[in-house]
Structures are given as structure tokens and as C-alpha cells.
Amino acid sequence: MEGLLSKLRSLDAYPKVNEDFYSRTLSGGIITLASSVVMLLLFVSELRLYLHAVTETTLRVDTSRGETLRINFDVTFPALQCSIISLDAMDISGQEHLDVKHDIFKQRIDVHGNVIATKQDAVGGMKVEQPLQRHGGRLEHNETYCGSCYGAEESDEQCCNSCEDVREAYRKKGWGVSNPDLIDQCKREGFLQSIKDEEGEGCNIYGFLEVNKVAGNFHFAPGKSFQKANVHVHDLLPFQKDSFNVSHKINKLSFGQRFPGVVNPLDGAQWMQHSSYGMYQYFIKVTFTEQHVSFLHFLTNVCAIVGGVFTVSGIIDSFVYHGQRAIKKKMEIGKFN
């Protein structure tokens, strides 16, 4: 056992020197203090690089196909009711997402910005009080309800059991609902009354979209949208209003996964509409060039900083120490002028 320990002891690359043989100098203390400050500054700089994302400019061919990009948003419309706001997304490939409802939430707010109610944007339920059947009669107790689509049905078996179903069927046909009170489902559900109840309110709409990674647009607008002669149109007839105030504030707008340190330039942007009609557009180009430094890379750089500064300061200290000794000896023998 002693032989093994002796062999291990002979491998020691850091032989120890008795403190009695140490010679401490003023120059050595100054160099030690200066090198310690340099090491601390370099360590803090390296730590900041490790904790924050690194932005690089690169040019490469995107070979991915079929990938999607997540858009996170939180927008407040202080003068537009939640019941009339719709969200559409479309891109240059021809793909459209009209009146998006999945993962979208709306908060009714008063004139002071206080939340009145929160709901997920989805097709609401209907009040069944002897609704009108597709064939014209009223619903009996032993019948299954199947509401009329008022000429917009795509097949003889299609049923429109709610006001939303009728409006959606009209949208697919490219028609507008001119008077919701003439639609039995809308009249029973109080469609126009719900809009009147929200008069003077605003809306905070938030959630996220999944879109193709190609050029396109998404927009908030009043009314359901549809295509008419290859033109994107919003149906405003059901609301029976002459103008809409689309003043807004973008609380948050980000793309993809959230990264620490990322600055979203449109966060906090707002626009006020001063005329009866208005539309505001933002043009955005999204590129991701962020890269995070690995822990091993950080550890390697820290070791290089400590070792490098320690070595360089040792060389400087040795040069100063031996220079002082040489000058002192020459002064003692009278050869230093």
C-alpha cells in the first residue's frame, strides 16, 4: 500500500514549497490584486454571455417543408365589442383560416379597461324553446331538432341548429346575413340583443395561432369573412352599424417559443382611430438567429480566463521581480548609472 501511495505521490504535478522559502514583494501584491480584478471582470462578462441569447447573422437555405410557426398575441380594442371581432389568417400558399376560434380567448372590458367577463371564443350553445324545424314546423317532444340553413345548406341532410351555424353556412356560400331577426335561431338566441348589451364595451383578445412558415397575414376585423369573386370580404350587415372604431393596443406579440432576453418590437404599440372608418397595418419580418451557449463551453471559457490571467500575471511578476533584483545588484556594485 505504501508503494502505491508513493507512486501516486511521485505523479504530483504541483509540488509544494515550504512557506519559509516564500518571498513576498510589493510588486507581487499589486500584480495579484490587478489580475484578480481582471479575472472577475472577465468572469462576469462570460457569465452574461452564458445567461443571454447570442444573436448571429447567417444566410442559409430553409429546406424545411410543412413546418408551422406559433404566433402569440394579446391585443386590446377599447371600443370594439367581443361579439363582433373575428380573427383571420392567410398565406401566399393559398391556405386560409377564417374566423379562428381555437385557443382564442376574449375578455369583455368596460370603458376603464376593467374586465367584465372572460370566455373562450367558440360556438355558443342555443336556447331550445320550441325552435323552428327545417321542414317548417315547431320542434315536438319526440323529434330530433334540425334547424334550417335558409338556403345555404350544402346537402339535404345538413342542419343549422344555432345562429352561428347559419352564419357559418352563409359565409361558406359567400352570402351576408342582412337581418338576423329573420333567422329563427338568431332571434331565439338574442343575437342582436347581445350586441346591444355590449354597446360601449371593449374587448381584450388573446391566445395563439399556428401558421405556415411562409409569407402571409393575420388580422382582426369586425364581422365574419368570406370570399366573394376572389375578394376577401367581411360581413358587417348583421351588426346594423354605420362605423366601427378599431383603435387598439398591442400588449404582447411574439413569434415561436419564448426566449429570455428577446425584445418584441410591437409590445406596447397602439393606434387611435380619429375618423369614422379606419384600418391599420403592421409589416413584420420574422427571423430567428438566436443561439444559447452550452454550459461546457461556458466552463471551458472560465477555466481559460483563470488559467490565462494567472499565467500572464505570473510572467509579469517574474519579469518585475528579476528586473528589480538585477537593478539592485548593479546599484550595490556601483555599475548602475
What pLDDT shows up at residue 175?
Answer: 82
Burial class (CB in 10 A: 0-12, 13-18, 19+), 84: buried
Q: Is the dihedral of CA 103, 104, 109, 114 positive or negative?
A: positive
What pLDDT shows up at residue 176?
Answer: 79
Least confident piece of the model among 82-96, 114-128, 194-208, 316-330: 114-128
Three-class SS state of 70: strand
What pLDDT shows up at residue 125?
Answer: 43
Nearest to 266 by CA among 73, 101, 85, 121: 73
**Bridge partner residues of 253 (DSSP):** 73
**What is the C-alpha to C-alpha distance for residues 101 and 98, in angstroms, rounded to an integer?**
9
What pLDDT shows up at residue 138?
Answer: 66
**Mean pLDDT over each residue of the chain, to the nearest integer:** 81
What pLDDT shows up at residue 269?
Answer: 92
Nearest to 287 by CA among 51, 57, 53: 57
pLDDT: which is higher, 173 or 3: 173
Give per-residue pLDDT as tens, 265-286: 899 999 999 888 888 999 988 7
322 within 8 A of 329, measured Cβ to Cβ? no
Least confident piece of the model among 10-14, 122-126, 267-271: 122-126
What pLDDT shows up at residue 119?
Answer: 64
The arithmetic mean of pLDDT across residues 171-181, rounded, is 81
